[in-house]
Amino acid sequence: MHYYRYSNAEVSCWYKYLLFSYNIVFWLAGVAFLAAGLWAWSEKGVLSDLTKVTGLHGLDPVVLVLVVGIVMFTLGFAGCVGALRENICLLKFFCGTIVFIFLLEMAVAVMAFLFQDWVRDKVKEFFENNIKSYRDDIDLQNIIDSLQRINHCCGAQGPEDWDFNIYFDCKSESKSREKCGVPFSCCIPDPAQKVVNTQCGYDIRKKSKSQWDDQIFVKGCIHALEAWLPRNIYIVAGVFIAISLLQIFGIFLARTLISDIEAVKASNAF
């Protein structure tokens, strides 16, 4: 690569290498996400049988990790190479994609605020679909268990939602030992027990509802999340603002570098 000095225009090394440093973090994070996703898939045998992905009706968390990894890897690569090689096409691709993601985030935030009932229905539908696939994927199972345990909740609207899962359904013809029960993550923990009792939810829904309060969480996870959000609104807003500022900073660096490169080319043309 040849470098030239122009009397009236030059590419700022400060912006150039600052943008490169900004994107190297993106690129390394993308590599980490991709490595973690591929490792998780290899552990589940998906890499040797891709039909296992389509066989899961709920969300496979590994797919989300891989998508995030691919986006971050691609953006980081485009930004790094675009900055070092002063390639306007790659820089515009990086900048345009960041702008698109930023506008998409803003649109989702506005829609979530304006159409709260619709969002609540979609979250309920999403949660119920994942309850159906609870035993089909270990990663999905761990996420649902963590969500229920941390938020002291059970099901989307309540414990009865576990009828959506064939293993826990009270009305099914299944011979499952978990029939008419709930996962252990729905159980109220006993401080005296040092070992988690994974069978604590067995047959609990065969009892009267008045007995549930002493053994399991009866509040649905949607209600728990709705109660959690107002208590942590400043944390959520702070995270959203921090991410937005990082995106705006990246857009500013890319646009400034593109302007410098175009000015140098224009100057060189004369």
The parent domain of residue 97 ranges over: 13-45+59-117+233-268
pTM of full prediction above 0.85: no
Q: What is the pLDDT of residue 6?
A: 42
Q: What is the pLDDT of residue 2?
A: 43
d(CA 264, CA 258): 10
d(CA 46, CA 23): 31
**Does residue 221 belong to any structural domain of this protein?**
no
Q: What is the pLDDT of residue 55?
A: 54
Angle, helix 88-114 to helix 116-132, in steps of 10 degrees: 100
Q: What is the pLDDT of residue 209?
A: 87
**Does residue 29 belong to any structural domain of this protein?**
yes
**Does residue 20 belong to any structural domain of this protein?**
yes
**Does residue 193 belong to any structural domain of this protein?**
no
Q: What is the pLDDT along the chain (270 residues), one digit of tens a residue?
A: 444 444 455 777 888 889 999 999 989 999 999 999 888 888 776 665 555 555 555 677 888 899 999 999 999 999 999 998 889 999 999 999 999 999 999 998 888 888 888 888 888 888 888 999 898 888 889 999 999 999 999 999 999 999 999 999 998 777 888 999 999 999 998 887 778 888 999 999 999 888 898 899 999 999 998 888 888 889 988 999 999 999 999 999 999 999 888 888 777 766
**DSSP letters spanning 27-63:** HHHHHHHHHHHHHHHHHHTTTT-THHHHT--S--HHH
Residue 142 phi, psi dihedral angles, 5° rounding: -65, -40
For the chain, how many structural domains are there in total? 1
**Does residue 86 belong to any structural domain of this protein?**
yes
**Does residue 89 belong to any structural domain of this protein?**
yes
- Residue 218: closest CA among 230, 210, 228, 229: 210
**Does residue 205 belong to any structural domain of this protein?**
no
Q: What is the pLDDT of residue 115?
A: 86
Our CA dihedral for 92, 93, 98, 102, rounded to 10 degrees, sits at: 90
d(CA 134, CA 178): 13
**Does residue 74 belong to any structural domain of this protein?**
yes
